[in-house]
Structure formats: structure tokens, C-alpha cells
Structure 1
Amino acid sequence: MYSPLLQHISRYVSLDQNEEALIAQKLKYLQLKKKEIVLSQGKICRSSYFIVKGCLRLYFFNDKGAEQTTQFAIENWWISDYNSLENKVPSEFQIQAVEASEVIAFDKEIQDSLFELVPKLERYFRLILQRAYAASQVRTKINYTMSREAQYHLFSTAFPEFVQRVPQYMLASYLGFTPEFLSKIRARKVKKIS
């Protein structure tokens, strides 16, 4: 049940069988229904989530009450509200299953205690978070330097699975434009192919 996460960890650090067993006994395996909320805005985030199967998203409500998606996570990716998790403050985000999903929840307090018992685990999380932060920096640069249409084409080329799996309104929200604008971009692409 926890082998996908243990395999992912082994791509970054090597664990012995005792360390794997120690980690596995502390995890929670969750099956989520489509649209199920894992974290509600205003609640303190207590876990980070590793996606075994499915897709989750992190989003907030803007000043007009519209959803603004800031992150998606699919198989072998992590998702959490790290500000709430680390600082124990109410979350400004929600985490929702975009589709029926299976995730491994890693409770923050258990994670911190395991860092003492399995120091390699701390290295794993450092490497994962460095990669995530680097991706965030690239996304910020793209937001400032590319047109919205160019951003969509780059995203759909780099992550075609998201374009197929994520509802259009969520994808538009993530890219920072309306579903109608996304429809126009897709229509232009279809005309070019025809």
C-alpha cells in the first residue's frame, strides 16, 4: 500500500528495510472521492499528501469569490499548504481531489519525529522541496515574460496529462485567465491543425 511512496523516496535516498517499515507504520492511506476537500480554508494544515493515484489541487477564493488554482499534483507529487503546516496558522487555501484519488497522508508531527529516527528522510524532503521551489521560480518567470496564449501552449506541451485530466475552468484558473479565453485559444489551435 505504501510502496509507491517508498519507491519515490528510494529515487533520492536509500533506506534499509527497518527504516522503510518504521516510515510505513506511521503513514495514513486515504481514498478520496472526486471533489472531496482534504483541507478547508481557515483550518490548520496537519499533513502533506503524496499522490498515489489521481489528481489534487490547491486553490483559494479571490476577492470576487472566484476560485484561483495555484497548484496541481498528480501521481508521485506532493501537495500541502506549507505555510499553514509549518507555522500552524489557519490555511488561506483549500486542497481538493480533482478526480477520485488515493493519497498517503504524512502527518507533520510524525514527520518531524521520523526526521530524528531516519535522518535520510529529511534529506529526501529537502531535495523534493528544492525541486518544487525551482519549478515555482520558473513559473513566476513565465508569468512575467510570456503571453497567456504562449503560457497555455507551453503548459499543454510540458504537461499534456493535465490538459486531458483537469476540467477546463480549473486549468484556466491555474493559468490566470477565464474559461472563455481558454476556449478561444483551443479553437485557434484546432483551426491551425485543420
Structure 2
Amino acid sequence: MSVNLRDLPLLGQGLLAQGDDWQVHLVRPGEPLFTAILDGRQAVSCGPVTDAIDGHSTHYALTQGGTLQVWFRVTRAHQGPLDCEGTYPPELVEAFRPVLASTSRLGRPPGPGRNHLVILAMRCGWAHQLNQGAEVDLINARVTLAPLYTRLQYPALPGWSFMHPRTGVTHDVRALAPACDIRGSWGDVFADRPVARAAPHRARLAAAGRLVGAR
């Protein structure tokens, strides 16, 4: 399934993409749908439901039948601090800053059977971010979500795990530099991204992981 997007800026708002029974929106703080996102965060995690990073992030919300099903934000490093930026390899943040995205606050209502909607929402988010110049996504992910991020082909950086101050559980630092050789869930989203463009990013990511993992 291809992703057809409306042309919206990074910090824009409105309908980004839609299918037969779903819609993906860009949401800004203060909108009713953002209030629903905060309610969703409250239901699935501990700690504050909002922070200063929300103000300079792009917020994605997938709705189905008018009900919020998936939410996450993407923060661009050139627009402001990232979620838990101090736990990331600092040389990577500086090296990638102009093209660096960081996905965080990914959530969905409790219950089984919604991972396909998570993947759909992230496909739309990546397609939008690629159009806006992103080339690397550097994230922190709960260890319990490792199977999902492995399916999404986000490799962990060895040695970069930490106790998240908000969730109180262990998170891994993971990264993805997309290109057309990544298949599976991404398929058409990365089809026009040459491997040669991603290769230097992947080499730098792998080197950072090996360096720390060897200590």
C-alpha cells in the first residue's frame, strides 16, 4: 500500500493521509486531538504527560472511525532538544543534526491487535519526514518493545541502554537510516532512497555502537 501525503510543513496541522477507514493527522498543542493524545499518554505511561519538547515536535495521530488509535511525536534536532538527548551518543547527534529525527512518545490504547496500525502510522510519519529532509531516526525504546522495533528494522546500538527517568524502565537506543534495501513494512516508503546515501550514516551508527559495546 502506497502512502499518499498532503504537503504539510513539519510543525503544521491537518489531515496528512487517509485510507478507507483511517486517517493520519498532524496535531499541534492546544487542539482537541492533542488533548486526546495527552489522555492516551496518561493511560499507558507514568510521569508527566507533556513537556517542553512537545512545543517543537511534529505530532502524528492515527484515528480509526474517529477514535484515536496511535500517537507519536518526531523531534528534529535542528529545531530543539530531543527526548532524552543526553543519553544518546553525543557525536551522533552533532554529526547528524541537520538530518536527524527522533521519534518518541509512541503509544496506543491498551489491548491486542493494533500493531498493524502502529506500523501504518509510522509509515506515514517516515514518508512525511523524508519529504522534510530527515535521513536518520535516533530513538529510545522500551526493552519490552524490542520485537516491534526489530520488525520495524531499528537496530539497537550496543552499550546504549539506560533507565528512562519518566517510565522507570530500561530503554535501548536504536537508530534507522532508511534506504531502498529495507523491505518488509517499509517497502514503497523507502523505494526512492539510494543505499549510497544511507551507507555513511549506517557506518557511523555501527561504529558508535561497537565502540561503547566493547568497553
Q: TM-score, normalised by structure 2?
A: 0.25
Bigger-Rg structure (1/2): 1
The answer to which structure has the higher helix fraction is 1
Q: TM-score, normalised by structure 1?
A: 0.27
